[in-house]
Amino acid sequence: MTQQESTTNEEAEELRIGAFICECGVNIAGAVDCNAVADYISTLPNVTTAVVNKYTCSDAGQDEIKKAIKELDLNRVLVASCTPKTHEPIFRACVEEAGLNPYLFEFVNIREHCSWIHMWEKEDATRKAKELVRMGVARAALLEPLQSSEVPVTNKALVIGAGVTGMQAAMDIGDMGFQVYLVEAGPSIGGKMAQLDKTFPTNDCSICILGPKMVEVNRNPNIEIMSYSEVEEVDGYVGNFDVKVKHKARYVDIDLCTGCNSCVEKCPVEVPYWEFNEGIGTRKAVYVPFPQAVPLRALIDKSICIDCGACSKACERGAINMDQEDTFSDLEVGVIVVCVGYDVYDPEPNHDFGFGLYDNVITTMEFERLINASGPTMGKVVRPSDVVQPKRIGFVQCVGSRDVNSNIYCSSFCCMASLKNAQLIKEKYPDSEVYIMYMDMRTPFRMYEEFYNRARDMDIHFIRGRPAEVTENEDQNIIARIEDTLTNKIENLELDMMVLSVGAVSPESTEKIRQILKVSRAADGFMMEAHPKLKPVDTTLDGIFIGGMTQGPKDIPYSISQGSACAARATRFLAQGKALTEGITIAVDEDICVRCEVCVPMCPFQALKMDDDGKLEIITALCKGCGTCAVACPTGALQQSHYKNNQILAQVKEVFAYEEV
Amino acid sequence: MADNNDWEPKIVAFCCNWCSYGGADTAGMGRFQQPASTRVIRVMCSGRIDPLHVYNAFLEGADAVLVTGCHLGDCHYVNGNEKTELKYQFLEEMVKQLGLEPERLHLNWISASEGERFANFINDVTAKVKEIGPSPLKPEGVS
């Protein structure tokens, strides 16, 4: 970053503020009389020029700012437009190009905080905009130049979550030549996609396309897979994250185990296999997650193990180690990609559509395991109550989605998932009667509408409506009382099995990592991106990215795209090898500091300490610029740059002075 | 209270950069309409909101002051908002000592996604303050 040389004498310099008021097309001008704002602002002290732009952020708008800085010798620039959350970096770079220190730029939000929330009160909105800009002018006059510092970036990445999104992100980063730690909480990589039978719109076998990708990840020399591991702590900032990872004890030496299953055969303890088979079928206390698992290694579920020693005896390689304990690794990485996925909505607590009351009401995920050729029934679709193949199967859409009683959002993949599953039944058992009960079928994207049409041509019955009442008869058949809202006919539909097309929810288990990383949580519970359109995989935290279902429900192609997007966004830092830190930090005025040490424990980053001479030392590299310590300081010796008391109080004062003008 | 219907209070809202300022942005993006009563002042962390700022806002003529930040557990700076919560007890006492009604000071945690929550908050506080009228501390001639 170039330093502006004339800044040392800023205090004595005559203030020359240029104010640029953006109309943002009609976004601002529709409610705020921007010319009136500019006229008013130009009367304020220190304002050299006040200009209205159609779009200040456009090339033309930015050129006008740069030209004005040079021609009018401006030493402060104020832009009144949208939100600094998206546009502050743009304008800071703009003024810097014209030779002004970027921290001599002041941003006033008159769109999100004014025109958009007072859309029909033009007079109020204009008056408020004048006041907001006036506050900004007062603050701009007191701004001081600051320096961002360049920090080196550790050229390694951490990817949390090894579902299909995380795998893609890891592969792309690895292929670009950077070391990746791929941390997965489960015993194998692959995620939810490994559980699915076939995938739309091609109906190719899910594990057949995922399996080779899992192997590829394992073979990538730049990727270190840490399965059955969890991120415990994250410290630091972009370029320099310190990460503590816990490797949960498998009670099997992963270097000795070959995944041969000898131990599994001998183990006498058997429980329903919830983690992979949705409780259909069983697993042993010692088990290999699934045949295509990576790493293909056994692990022992200590919570049910009876310590009989049968597995140890069976293992020729001596891989069983019952004394194994959790171990920890400390990693240093420059960037973090979070792809921790989703859970399917659980209809059990509310007994949605009889789930949990009637055996033959199941979820999509259970159905995926039932029809999967390598699943617990070897692909034979049977209903839970009597293990007989159902002839009449109904799918209920939007369970846990688009419902004020659960989640209001659309989970986006469930329409296609049910169309796919309905087709698979018709292909496998052509005599079946298949019903899809829906509110709206949503099938955007390439080949999806065609896929829907194909289902329509396969004699699958579509009923526009959802069951109002679900009961069970003496044969344990499901009776769904439903109105087809296209024909206004109400019928009692008798089904042998009913599949609830459950949506996606943000897993409770990922809340811990969200809080460790301090990524914002959106209203729907998923993690929040920096901008819904412009920065879909960034977070507000530099160097931390989110991809796939972590950000909200999406299908496989979209998730994979986001995995690649995360890799591209993250690798920018790794490739540059450096990052800029915020110039906003804390500074101490030693003449006023009374060395009371009240501030020291206020800092959560240990950036403050008393040195050997009893003086307060500020470790700027650790300071994140929150300013909390400045409030604790009883003498005002600590000041947060860019948010000094006089700067904040100048804004406060100008909230009120309007009547006097 | 017919007069109060036309009168628009002046409310100063201190917002943290990461959550509540974003909440105010999201309210705008969602076009959640609000009375033009509130002026947002951005700080990096709610922990930066100094009793001095709140005190000055009341002395300058604020009819209400809002202290806002991230939900507890979500602070971008680990626990700045917990310190805000502690300081808020002091602020409540200060407001009492200043002879102001408790309705003139509010604390709220608003995430960057909670636009509607932000708008509802502004609507609610504005309505409450309209009921109790202008701040007795408001200097003459200031609105």
Confidence label for A557 from pLDDT (cuts 50, 70 and 90): very high
Chain B contact for A644, CB < 8 A?
no
For every residue of A377-394, DSSP letters joined together read TTT----TTT----SEEE
Cα gap A624→A601, rounded to integer Å? 15
A143 DSSP assignment: -
Cα-based angle B132, B133, B139 (whole degrees, multiple of 5)? 135
Q: Are the Cβ atoms of A124 and B33 closer than 8 angstroms?
A: no
Longest dimension (CA), chain B: 47
Chain A CB contacts of B126 under 8 Å are: none
Kindly state the tokens that stand for A114. Answer: 């004014």
Residues 6+ apart with CB under 8 A from A561: none
Helices and strands, number each (H, E), in chain B: 5, 4
pLDDT at B53: 98
CB A482 within 8 A of CB A470: no
Q: Are the Cβ atoms of A541 and B76 closer than 8 angstroms?
A: yes
Look at the block and give the residue holding tokens 């970053």.
A1
To the nearest whole Å, the CA of A479 is away from the closest chain B CA by: 41
A135 DSSP assignment: H
Rg (C-alpha) for chain A, rounded Å, is: 31
Stretch B61-73: mean pLDDT, rounded? 95
SS (H, E, C) A558-623: HHHHHHHHHHHHHHHHHHHCEEECCCCCEEECCCCCCCCCCCHHHCCCCCEEECCCCCEEECCCCC
Cα gap A621→A236, rounded to integer Å? 10
CB B63 within 8 A of CB B135: yes
A545 phi and psi angles, rounded to 5 deg: -125, 150
Q: Is B119 helix (H, G, I), strand (E, B) or coil?
A: helix
In a domain, B78, yes or no: yes
Stretch B98-117: mean pLDDT, rounded? 96
**Per-residue pLDDT tens for A436-467?**
999 999 999 999 999 999 999 999 999 999 99
pLDDT over 70 at B13, yes or no: yes
Q: Are the Cβ atoms of A652 and B19 closer than 8 angstroms?
A: no
- Which A residues in the span 522-561 are in contact with B, Cβ-Cβ below 8 Å? 522-523, 528, 532, 540-541
Containing A97, the helix (H) or strand (E) segment is helix A84-97
Kindly state the tokens that stand for B89. Answer: 């007890």
| β-pairing verdict for A150-152 and A578-580 | antiparallel
B138 DSSP assignment: P
Say yes or no: ipTM exceeds 0.90: yes
Residue among A585, A607, A594 at smallest CA distance from A633: A594
pLDDT at A87: 95
pLDDT at A606: 83
Residues 6+ apart with CB under 8 A from A18: A47, A48, A49, A50, A51, A65, A68, A69, A72, A74, A76, A77, A78
- Total domain count, chain B: 1
pLDDT at A4: 43
Q: Are the Cβ atoms of A648 and B43 closer than 8 angstroms?
A: yes
Q: Which domain holds residue B122?
A: 11-130
A232 phi and psi angles, rounded to 5 deg: -100, -40
For every residue of A322-345, DSSP letters joined together read TT---EEEEEEESEEEE----EE-
In a domain, B135, yes or no: no
Stretch A591-610: mean pLDDT, rounded? 92
Kindly state the tokens that stand for A341. Answer: 């996925």
Cα gap A502→A254, rounded to integer Å? 36
Confidence label for A299 from pLDDT (cuts 50, 70 and 90): very high
SS (H, E, C) A236-277: EECCEEEEEEEECCCCECCCCCCCCCHHHHHCCCEEECHHHH
Chain A CB contacts of B83 under 8 Å are: 602, 628, 631
pLDDT at A621: 76
pLDDT over 80 at B2, yes or no: no
Containing A214, the helix (H) or strand (E) segment is helix A206-219
Cα gap A339→A344, rounded to integer Å? 16
Stretch A466-474: mean pLDDT, rounded? 97
Cα gap A310→A302, rounded to integer Å? 14
Least confident of B51-55, B76-80, B128-132: B76-80
The one-letter code for the residue type at A151 is V
Residue among A543, A545, A542 at smallest CA distance from A565: A545
pLDDT at A7: 45
Q: Are the Cβ atoms of A112 and B114 closer than 8 angstroms?
A: no
pLDDT at A190: 98
Q: Is A463 helix (H, G, I), strand (E, B) or coil?
A: strand
Chain B CB contacts of A124 under 8 Å are: 8, 36
Longest dimension (CA), chain A: 92
In a domain, B23, yes or no: yes
Q: For chain A, what percentages of helix, strand and coil (3-state, to nearest 5) are there?
A: 30, 25, 45
Confidence label for A8 from pLDDT (cuts 50, 70 and 90): very low
SS (H, E, C) A149-206: CEEECCCEEEEECCCHHHHHHHHHHHHCCCEEEEECCCCCCCHHHHHCCEECCCCEEH
Q: Is the peptide bond before B51 cis (omega within 30 degrees of 0)?
A: no
Region at A542 (left for phi over 0; alpha for psi -120 to 50; beta for the rest): beta
In a domain, B104, yes or no: yes
pLDDT at A180: 98
**Per-residue pLDDT tens for A611-655?**
999 999 998 878 889 999 999 999 999 999 999 999 999 999 999
pLDDT at A523: 85
Confidence label for B4 from pLDDT (cuts 50, 70 and 90): low
Q: Tell me the HSE value of A338 on the side-chain side, using a 13 A CA sphere.
A: 30
- What's the whole-model pTM score? 0.84
As a whole-number percent, the residues of chain A with pLDDT over 70 amount to 98
Q: How far is CA A284 from CA A271, A303, B80, in A?
A: 6, 12, 47
CATH number at residue B55: 3.40.50
Containing A501, the helix (H) or strand (E) segment is strand A497-502
**Per-residue pLDDT tens for A500-532?**
999 999 999 999 999 999 888 888 999 999 888
pLDDT at A532: 82
pLDDT at A22: 98
Region at A80 (left for phi over 0; alpha for psi -120 to 50; beta for the rest): beta
pLDDT at A11: 52
Stretch A108-137: mean pLDDT, rounded? 97
Please provide the distance, in angstroms rounded to a whole number, between the alpha carbons at the two ends of chain B. 18
pLDDT at A1: 37
pLDDT over 50 at A400, yes or no: yes
Q: Are the Cβ atoms of B45 and A648 closer than 8 angstroms?
A: no
As a whole-number percent, the residues of chain A with pLDDT over 90 amount to 91
Residue of A33, A117, A238, A660 to mutate, testing the B interface (most B Cβ within 10 Å of its Cβ) = A117
pLDDT at A659: 54
Please provide the distance, in angstroms rounded to a whole number, between the alpha carbons at the two ends of chain A. 40
In a domain, B5, yes or no: no
Of B26, B42, B77, the CB nearest to A628: B77
pLDDT over 70 at A3, yes or no: no
pLDDT at A276: 96
pLDDT over 50 at A80, yes or no: yes
pLDDT over 90 at A377, yes or no: yes
Q: Are the Cβ atoms of B10 and A120 closer than 8 angstroms?
A: no
**Per-residue pLDDT tens for A178-205?**
999 999 999 999 999 999 999 999 999 9
Chain A CB contacts of B36 under 8 Å are: 114, 118, 121, 124-125, 127-128
Kindly state the tokens that stand for A487. Answer: 């024909």
CA dihedral for A350, A352, A354, A356, sign (positive or negative): negative
Residue among A166, A498, A213 at smallest CA distance from A342: A166
SS (H, E, C) A4-70: CHHHHHHHHCCCCEEEEEECCCCCCCCCCCHHHHHHHHCCCCCEEEEEEECCCCCHHHHHHHHHHHH
CB A98 within 8 A of CB A157: no
Kindly state the tokens that stand for A186. Answer: 């489960």
Q: Are the Cβ atoms of B60 and A652 closer than 8 angstroms?
A: yes
- Which A residues in the span 135-154 are in contact with B, Cβ-Cβ below 8 Å? 135
In a domain, B61, yes or no: yes
